[in-house]
Amino acid sequence: MSKVLVTGGAGFIGSNLSRMLLDEGNEVILYDNLSSGYRENVPALPDAKFIEGDIRNASLLTEVMRDTDTVFHLAASVGNARSIAYPIEDSEINVIGTLRVLEAARAQGVRKIVFSSSAGIFGELKSLPIREDHPVEPNSPYGASKLAAEKMCLAYAQLYELEAVCLRYFNVYGINQRYDAYGNVIPIFAHRMLRGEALTVFGDGEQTRDFINVGDVAKANLQASQTRSVSGAFNIASGSAITVNRLIELMSAAGEISPVVEYGPLRSGDVRHSRADVSAAREAFGFQPSVKLEEGLSEYMLWSKSAAAS
């Protein structure tokens, strides 16, 4: 059994990962300031220890990392739109916060850090599918701050006895993902569909996205942590893509709801097409996405209906 720390452990991905870590027999510490995490996710993880704290709190971070083997660093300010509205806060959390995590990990002799990065580091795409060596030209403060945090993690892996794996998530969805106006398109659409509200699509809806279920993302984190002598940055995605218009059709079928769809202007910072090459993660630590989109959306719509009724 290993002692592990999950920053952002009360959040969407963090809570799913923490459940998997507990099921694997680990001692799990959830560390979250609840700014975007949800307190209601904590009671569902009764075997984990919850500490309410900010990743910019150096002394508290160092204290809670004592005797920790692995740190899963998920706490972040997330999303292009939020970063454009609040660029200073975005970098304070994503860059300085990550440095605080790295310094605490170094001080306490942590063996490995698994950092949650983003496909937002790439910016407008020049070729598909996207490989890890695709040019990185982020077009939002969020993409820039995630790229800076990645580079810090990998620099620490070069300088100190610390392995660092940066996982570049594409469009993650799944249970425990609640509505957030700044967030992923799937919970926004589900929220509006269940309330009988029109869906707003930015552009013509023919833009494509690579959606990956949170269960596969949690598994990627676990596999990356368990594979020794691996550091680097890896794409974590399904490896396939669909249009936003097709996504609406699948969600409508899964939820048995026929929403009104309205089209608006494109948003700043959005890319036109996105699809990842995940072969590097498969070769490095055995990552293989397994949840089909139709299956994952059915599970998510059922969960969303239950969450909305509670």
Span of 44-53, 146-155, 263-272 with lowest mean pLDDT: 263-272
Q: What's the confidence (pLDDT) of residue 1? A: 72
The rounded distance, in Å, linking the Cα atoms of 280 and 236 is 10
pLDDT tens, position by position, 108-118: 999 999 999 99
| 267 vs 18, residue with greater confidence | 18
Whether 170 is in a domain gets the answer yes
Reported confidence tier of residue 218, pLDDT bands at 50, 70, 90? very high
Whether 205 is in a domain gets the answer no
Q: What is the residue range of 82's domain?
A: 3-176+212-237+276-290
- Residue 278's nearest CA partner among 263, 264, 289, 291 is 289
Contact 119, 274 (CB under 8 A): yes
How many independent structural domains does the chain possess? 1
| 33 vs 179, residue with greater confidence | 33
Answer yes or no: is pLDDT of 61 > 90. Answer: yes
Whether 52 is in a domain gets the answer yes
Contact 6, 29 (CB under 8 A): yes
Mean pLDDT of the chain: 95
The rounded distance, in Å, linking the Cα atoms of 9 and 49 is 10
Q: What's the confidence (pLDDT) of residue 147? A: 98
Q: Which are the catalytic amino acids?
A: 142
> In CATH, what number is assigned to the domain containing residue 20?
3.40.50.720
Whether 301 is in a domain gets the answer no
% pLDDT > 90, the chain: 90
